[in-house]
Amino acid sequence: MQRTLTVLNVAEKNSIAKQVSAALSNNSATRGSTCSNYNPLFSFPYALNGMPCEMLFTSVAGHLMELDFPEAFKKWHSCSPLELYGAPVLKCVPQDKKLVERNLKEQARKCQWLVLWLDCDREGENIAFEVIDVCIKANPRLLIKRAKFSALVRRELERSVQNLGVPDENLSKAVDARQEIDLRIGASFTRFQTLLLQEKFNWEEHGIHDERPIFSYGPCQFPTLGLIVQRQWEIQAHVAEPFWYIYAMYRAPEGQSCTLHWQRDRLYDHVIATILYETCVDAPLATVTKVDARQKLRWPPLPLATLSLQKEAITHLRLPGERMMKLAEELYQEGFISYPRTETDVFDPAYDLKALVREHVNDARWGQHAQRIDSGEMWAAPRGGGHDDHAHPPIHPTRWSAPDANQGWDPNKRRLYEFIVRSFLASCSKPAVGFETQVEVTIAAETFRTTGLMVKERNWMEVFPWARWGGNDNLPVFAVNQTFMPTELLLKDGMTQPPPKMSERDLISAMERHGIGTDATVADHIQKQLDRGYALKDAAQLFSPTALGEALVASYHKMGLSNLWQPTLRGAIEHNITEVARGLRPKQEVLDEAVQHFRGDYIAAAGKQAMMLEEVGRFFGPRAGGGGPGEAGGALPPGDPIGACASCGLNLMLCQPAEGTPFVACSGAPLCRQRVYFPRPTLAADISDQPCATCQLDRGGLRKISFRLRRAAIPPGFEADMVACVLCDQRFKDLCEACGTARPAGQRNNQARGGGGQARGRGRGPAGRCEARASVLTRCVELLRGRGGRQGGMARGPPVCPRHGQPCLVKTSNSAANPGRTFFKCAHPSEAQECLDFMWEDEWNGQPLGASRARRTEPRGRGGNRGHGPRGAGRQQHGGRGNAGGRLVDAATGLPLDANEGSCYKCGQRGHWANACPN
């Protein structure tokens, strides 16, 4: 009688062994224990391609083997780190996996076939060969088979087991090469950095309490750190620049309104912006030149891959990547979602998506939408994002979980499941439909645009509440050649902002873009920055480097070895590894090339180690002695606490250096970089007994600082004695802005690093601005020429202040009662209340004010201020508000006004202006 075939099946983890066994055996598998506690054995009879067999199903726990150096090279002082580039490496089963190995051997001896159910990716293939290696030693006659599967659902598993293939050795070799490169460069540079720095500096003093701290280097962790440091340098290098833009707004008589966006966006030259603005004010009538109305579609989200899910979870669910992956893993192991580590964002056309949708038709929350998809009414085939790892489908729900069945779940797990379901249903739905109207208008040859949007059909957005799509749905109706008078026409200003600190989402995106880490490890590499003390995450969840992190990156930058931290490092390694995976290049060739390359970098770095000592020394005092007081990151001078630091929770200290200006710094310096420098005219600063009403209230409050300032050096409007909160007080900030801050000698300030140059406003680089400036200049020259030759044109210089007889009036628009309406006000601060307080600009007829009429009352929306047309517009349209029968009329009193009938606000009498008041 023929012996029954016995098949050993091995999965990457127990949960998969359990689920596959249950699915293939119809839940009749017998569970038995093995010598490895976490890897039991499931057994059940099965028919493989019609052949009856006994299935034994067990598992490993990830990689079975590790790559390491032999004992002779493991001790750090046993050899130079350089020798690690030529040292032998060994792949062996570590002590904690010995029982897993023993279990495999025991089972292999009973079997004729070995079926590998490892995950279908590069690492899974490598683990498969580790399993083969162990099993073959126990039973050399084993027949090796590979099961390829992508979801833990019965039909998929049965398809897989009836179509067994062979493992792919190239995929596995690519992993071997990656492991060896990572080990050699990671171990050598970690030892280099650690041995160089460990004894040279007093780390204890700087908040690093390990007796022998490790300064690790890795080909993923350093490029990750590099991204954070590079952003920090961009922020430091930013020089704020003022810009100006024309703001126009129109409110139609029917009530609809829109903002008209200047085509030039913004200009960095005040004079030019003013000239263009003045041309608009001169001829403010807007003409509609183009109206483009069309249907617009908003597409549903792409099917989810791991990193897109991480980013979405951070944004919509506020779940950090590492936490989200743990919950997704649980959902996968329980069979509710497909494999959560995938790069694929396109469904195989053969996939039965409708069957997956039908799972959800009875759900009270999204069942109705699922029914509409199932019926075809809402169905649209999901789009593809163009990424396919050929191992797993996009992340999607595989089973419906009734709301009452998952009550015991972690609330975040429920939210994540719901997000994955809704995202899947949305991706199978029709796009949303809107109606967009784009309008272009010109005002004095300047172009402005506005857009309106009406959402007609929400479709996929109905099942995906996180989506936002909307614009101005209250756009006035415009027709080509129509003219209208803008309601507001203002010259506004702003300052360019530095780029923001790195958020976790930014970091993940950048790492994904550069191929740093895998879907499963990106979150770990980010966490490692915090664990190693290379970076900090503040209360707003934004990342910045610590002084240590910055010093390490700056060291390699200085050495001319920026490739060791730049984000392209991992991509370059991965590129060559992929060629091995595809069978295009032999593993050894790629390996030798990489090892030689990094060996060269190591030799260069070791030859310039003095640079690393110097760079780190800028931040950290040496063991004997210390950095200069107050130097960036050096030992802090003595001081007293003023409250808690929002960045790290330690104390903010008012530091009083023996020489130089006091400043506030965190006691966690240099790891924490929180620091506030004081205005240059500071003579003395002490902690006041006044608490700030708003800062750090949840941490016991923050004390205000009492300043004594050099009177001669402070601008008008500031007092020599000031009590201020250094974190929130606007007057303190204004003073810093006006006078600059006093920083200790040696402090770097606004140095552009890493070849980044000066970062300016976002959205338009210097080159773009030069171009814009050139075209604008041409136009301004034309305008100025035209203006000079204009017949009968009014030479419109600034209005003349009636009190001073000079053009000392400025345009102001801060009237609360008349927002957007501008008036002229005397710029002399001491006389602002005494002198001419205002003249509505829309009531100014372009004549010097002294020749027309200035009103004495504060603009409070009195009679004369009732909603007229826009500034400039009113003047054009009405020939000057208050111009009745050729005579000027006082809008407040209705009495006639002219140059001879001035009204003196000082004495209240008519017949003269205040600057000529005899009283």
Partner DNA sequence: GCAAGGTC
Question: Per DSSP, what are the bridge partners of residue 492?
Answer: 245
Cα separation values, 857 from 224, 649, 795, Å: 61, 52, 28
User: Pattern 505-534, binding to DNA, x per CB under 7 A?
Assistant: ------------xxxxx---x--x------
Tokens of 41: 């054995």
Element housing 202 (H / E): none
Q: Output the smallest distance, CB 518 to DNA, in A.
A: 4
Size, binding site for DNA by CB under 7 A: 50
Q: Output the smallest distance, CB 348 to DNA, in A.
A: 21
Scanning residues 119 to 138, which ones bind DNA (CB under 7 A)? 119, 121, 123
The yes or no reply on residue 216 touching DNA (CB under 7 A) is yes
Q: How far apart are CA 666 and CA 632, in angstroms?
A: 12
Among residues 329 and 734, whose Cβ is nearest to DNA? 329
Asked whether the beta carbons of 104 and 134 are under 8 A apart, the reply is yes
The yes or no reply on residue 36 touching DNA (CB under 7 A) is no
Among residues 187 and 888, whose Cβ is nearest to DNA? 187
The yes or no reply on residue 738 touching DNA (CB under 7 A) is no
Among residues 72 and 907, whose Cβ is nearest to DNA? 72
Scanning residues 89 to 118, which ones bind DNA (CB under 7 A)? 96-97
* Paired sense of beta strands 5-11 and 51-59, if any: parallel
The yes or no reply on residue 198 touching DNA (CB under 7 A) is yes
* Paired sense of beta strands 446-457 and 257-262, if any: antiparallel
Tokens of 411: 């609330």
Among residues 213 and 634, whose Cβ is nearest to DNA? 213
Reported for 775-782, long-range contacts at CB under 8 A and 24+ positions apart, including other chains, are 776/264, 776/267, 776/269, 776/272, 776/276, 777/272, 779/276, 780/272, 780/275, 780/276
Scanning residues 338 to 357, which ones bind DNA (CB under 7 A)? 341
Q: Output the smallest distance, CB 575 to DNA, in A.
A: 13
Phi, psi of 178 (to 5 degrees): -60, -45
> Out of 42, 44, 46, 69, which residue is the one contacting DNA (CB under 7 A)?
69
Q: Output the smallest distance, CB 218 to DNA, in A.
A: 2
Q: How far apart are CA 735 and CA 753, in angstroms?
A: 28
Q: Output the smallest distance, CB 211 to DNA, in A.
A: 9
Q: How far apart are CA 522 and CA 515, in angstroms?
A: 10
SS3 per-residue string spanning 728-790: CCHHHHHHHHHHCEECCCCCCCCCCCCCCCCCCCCCCCHHHHHHHHHHHHHHHHHHHHHHHCC
Name which of 332, 473, 441 is nearest 395 in CA terms: 332
Listed ranges 58-66, 267-275, 467-475, 881-889: which one lies at the site for DNA (CB under 7 A): 58-66
The yes or no reply on residue 219 touching DNA (CB under 7 A) is yes
User: What single DSSP character describes residue 315?
Assistant: I
The yes or no reply on residue 74 touching DNA (CB under 7 A) is yes
Among residues 523 and 783, whose Cβ is nearest to DNA? 523
The yes or no reply on residue 173 touching DNA (CB under 7 A) is no
Among residues 119 and 234, whose Cβ is nearest to DNA? 119
> Out of 5, 136, 144, 183, which residue is the one contacting DNA (CB under 7 A)?
183
> Out of 21, 36, 172, 179, which residue is the one contacting DNA (CB under 7 A)?
179
Name which of 444, 518, 475, 540 is nearest 787 in CA terms: 444
Annotated catalytic residue 339: yes
The yes or no reply on residue 12 touching DNA (CB under 7 A) is yes
Name which of 91, 92, 113, 99 is nearest 10 in CA terms: 113
Scanning residues 542 to 581, which ones bind DNA (CB under 7 A)? none
> Out of 43, 107, 190, 487, which residue is the one contacting DNA (CB under 7 A)?
190
Among residues 220 and 645, whose Cβ is nearest to DNA? 220
Asked whether the beta carbons of 62 and 125 are under 8 A apart, the reply is no
The yes or no reply on residue 217 touching DNA (CB under 7 A) is yes
Q: Which residues contact 109 (CB under 8 A, 6 or more apart)?
A: 138, 139
Q: Output the smallest distance, CB 336 to DNA, in A.
A: 16
Among residues 11 and 114, whose Cβ is nearest to DNA? 11
The yes or no reply on residue 218 touching DNA (CB under 7 A) is yes
Tokens of 386: 């163009």
The yes or no reply on residue 38 touching DNA (CB under 7 A) is yes
Q: How far apart are CA 567 and CA 227, in angstroms?
A: 7
Q: Which residues contact 145 (CB under 8 A, 6 or more apart)?
A: 113, 114, 115, 116, 164, 165, 166
The yes or no reply on residue 191 touching DNA (CB under 7 A) is yes
Cα separation values, 307 from 178, 213, 303, 537, Å: 21, 32, 11, 20
HSE-CB of 906 using CA atoms within 13 angstroms: 15
Q: Output the smallest distance, CB 254 to DNA, in A.
A: 60
Q: How far apart are CA 511 and CA 505, in angstroms?
A: 10
How wide is the angle at C-alpha 82 spanned by C-alphas 79 and 85, nearest 5°? Answer: 105
The yes or no reply on residue 13 touching DNA (CB under 7 A) is yes
Scanning residues 748 to 787, which ones bind DNA (CB under 7 A)? none
Q: Output the smallest distance, CB 204 to DNA, in A.
A: 15
Q: Output the smallest distance, CB 418 to DNA, in A.
A: 23
The yes or no reply on residue 890 touching DNA (CB under 7 A) is no
Reported for 318-325, long-range contacts at CB under 8 A and 24+ positions apart, including other chains, are 319/412, 319/415, 319/416, 320/504, 320/523, 321/504, 321/508, 321/522, 321/523, 321/526, 322/523, 322/524, 322/526, 322/527, 323/412, 324/416, 324/523, 325/520, 325/523
Q: Output the smallest distance, CB 455 to DNA, in A.
A: 41
> Out of 68, 322, 436, 890, which residue is the one contacting DNA (CB under 7 A)?
68
Which of the residues 250, 277, 339, 905 is marked catalytic? Answer: 339
> Out of 77, 209, 294, 468, which residue is the one contacting DNA (CB under 7 A)?
77
Asked whether the beta carbons of 85 and 188 are under 8 A apart, the reply is yes
The yes or no reply on residue 587 touching DNA (CB under 7 A) is no
Q: Output the smallest distance, CB 77 to DNA, in A.
A: 6
> Out of 156, 182, 322, 359, which residue is the one contacting DNA (CB under 7 A)?
182
Listed ranges 137-145, 184-192, 418-426, 691-699: which one lies at the site for DNA (CB under 7 A): 184-192
**Which residues are designated catalytic?**
339
What residues make contact with DNA under the rule CB under 7 A? 12-15, 38, 61-63, 66-69, 74-77, 96-97, 119, 121, 123, 178-179, 182-183, 186-187, 190-191, 194-195, 198, 212, 214, 216-222, 333, 341, 517-521, 525, 528
